[in-house]
Structure 1
Amino acid sequence: MTYQAIMFDIDGTLTNSQPAYAKVMAQVLSEYDKPFSAADAQATFPMAAEQAMAHLGIAADDFDHFQARYEAVMADHYQDITLYPGIAPLLQQLPTDVKLGIVTSQRRNEMESGMAQYDFMDRLAVTISADDTPKRKPDPLPLLTALARVGVQPSDALFVGDSLSDEQTAAAAKVDFGLAVWGMDPNANHQQTAYRFKQPLDILTLF
């Protein structure tokens, strides 16, 4: 099938950000006198900030402070975040008439700061962050909002992500899901995938 739009998650899909995430969260959690294990990093990495806070026992009413500290510490670690091999050439080689976008649980400031270094951002037709809709993934609203903005029906779109939350988002939006095997949790049990892409350039085979 040829798609009119492809939407991408960021963390674990476009960028290998988990090592930086683990460092930043460990520092921020230490300010709360809370441990942050490798298991915590694996569990919370695909979550929106509110979900991660609940998982880690951080009060919901401390959201603004927690998020501000996370963003401040992360600002010193953007150099530790790298694109997965094949992402840049994939975005350069996809047909120009295909609408490309990002749907992420990152806040807009974090997304723009972390992604500003990449030339391909000019290629994107839409970006939806956690600040742009009242609900977060796995609710379908962020993905459906992105598709509405580019004028593409869910049946003509593909969502590429690495997590169960991404898979659930696509299913709820009735959008085909492409699993980014290169960034997925190897222990996750993905059941609703139209495609399992072993490497980014495999997506080109759809065209």
Structure 2
Amino acid sequence: MTYQALMFDIDGTLTNSLPAYTRVMRQVLKEYGLSFNEEQAQRTFPMAAEQAMADLGVAADEFDHFQARYEAVMADHFQDIQLYPGIEHLITTLPASVKLGIVTSQRRNELEAGMQPHQAMMTKMAVTIGADDTPKRKPDPLPLLTALERVHVAPENALFIGDSLSDEQTAKAANVDFGLAVWGMDPNADHQQVAHRFAHPDDIGRLFKN
């Protein structure tokens, strides 16, 4: 089928942000007397902030302070975060009739600051939904359904592209086809509900070629 809308996750899908995430989390967790290794980084990277904190042993009542510290430290590392090869070409060459958007677990200020270097791509986005734009976060379907509602596209006519099990669960709950960004996926993840597996961003563009 020809999709009327493509919605994208950011981390691990549009941007290779795992190295920056690892450095920032290691620094912030050290302030809490906690260590942070590569295995923990891989495991918690796809999680929402609260879920990652719980997994790493940070108390729930520390959320606001932890998130503020994370964002403050990350602000010094945005320049280290790069788009995956082929992403900008994909976004800027898709048919104009296709509605594009972002649905992420990042909060709005982090989303906007982190994507500031990529304005050519961001001008193509008809909608962006961050973690604080809806009362519930992925894998709840509300963020994805909200994005689709804003671009007036029914779930059955959309594709959500992400790298994590959380993204897959979000798409399934919203009755939206899921496209797996293989370039950013957790190698240990067992994805089951996948309409498309994309080895490279160019594979997404081929959906729209006759």
TM-score by length of 1: 0.99
Tell me how far apart the structure 2 counterparts of residues 28 and 158 of structure 1 sit (CA, whole Å): 35
Give how far 1:37 is off.
Answer: 1.2
Query: Which SS does the other structure have where 1:117 is aligned?
Result: helix
Q: Give the corresponding residue for 2:15.
A: 15
Give how far 1:117 is off.
Answer: 1.0
Query: Residue by residue, what CA displacement relative to the aligned partner does 1:6-30 show, whole Å, maximum 9, x if unpaired?
Result: 0000000000000000000000000
Structure 2, unmatched stretches of 5+, are none
- 2:132 paired with 1:128: no
Q: Give the corresponding residue for 2:102.
A: 102
Q: Partner amino acid for 2:28? A: V
Q: Give the corresponding residue for 1:205.
A: 206
Tell me how far apart the structure 2 counterparts of residues 172 and 132 of structure 1 sit (CA, whole Å): 18
Tell me how far apart the structure 1 counterparts of residues 28 and 185 of structure 2 sit (CA, whole Å): 25
Give how far 1:176 is off.
Answer: 0.3
Q: Give the corresponding residue for 1:173.
A: 174
Tell me how far apart the structure 2 counterparts of residues 113 and 20 of structure 1 sit (CA, whole Å): 14
Q: Give the corresponding residue for 2:25.
A: 25
Q: Give the corresponding residue for 2:80.
A: 80
The CA RMSD over aligned residues, in Å, is 0.6
Q: Partner amino acid for 2:121? A: F
Tell me how far apart the structure 2 counterparts of residues 155 and 6 of structure 1 sit (CA, whole Å): 12
Q: Give the corresponding residue for 1:156.
A: 157
Aligned pairs, number:
207
TM-score by length of 2: 0.98
Query: Which SS does the other structure have where 1:123 is aligned?
Result: coil
Give how far 1:157 is off.
Answer: 0.2
Tell me how far apart the structure 1 counterparts of residues 41 and 13 of structure 2 sit (CA, whole Å): 16
Tell me how far apart the structure 1 counterparts of residues 124 and 153 of structure 2 sit (CA, whole Å): 17
Q: Give the corresponding residue for 1:114.
A: 114
Map residues 56-71 of structure 1 onto 2, 5 A cutoff.
Answer: 56-71=56-71
Query: Residue by residue, what CA displacement relative to the aligned partner does 1:89-122 show, whole Å, maximum 9, x if unpaired?
Result: 0001110010000000000000000001112111
Query: Residue by residue, what CA displacement relative to the aligned partner does 1:66-98 show, whole Å, maximum 9, x if unpaired?
Result: 000000000111111000000000001110010
Q: Partner amino acid for 1:120? A: M
Q: Partner amino acid for 2:69? A: R
- Using the aligned pairs only, state the percent identity: 74
Structure 1, unmatched stretches of 5+, are none
Give how far 1:5 is off.
Answer: 0.4
Tell me how far apart the structure 1 counterparts of residues 134 and 108 of structure 2 sit (CA, whole Å): 11
Query: Which SS does the other structure have where 1:205 is aligned?
Result: helix
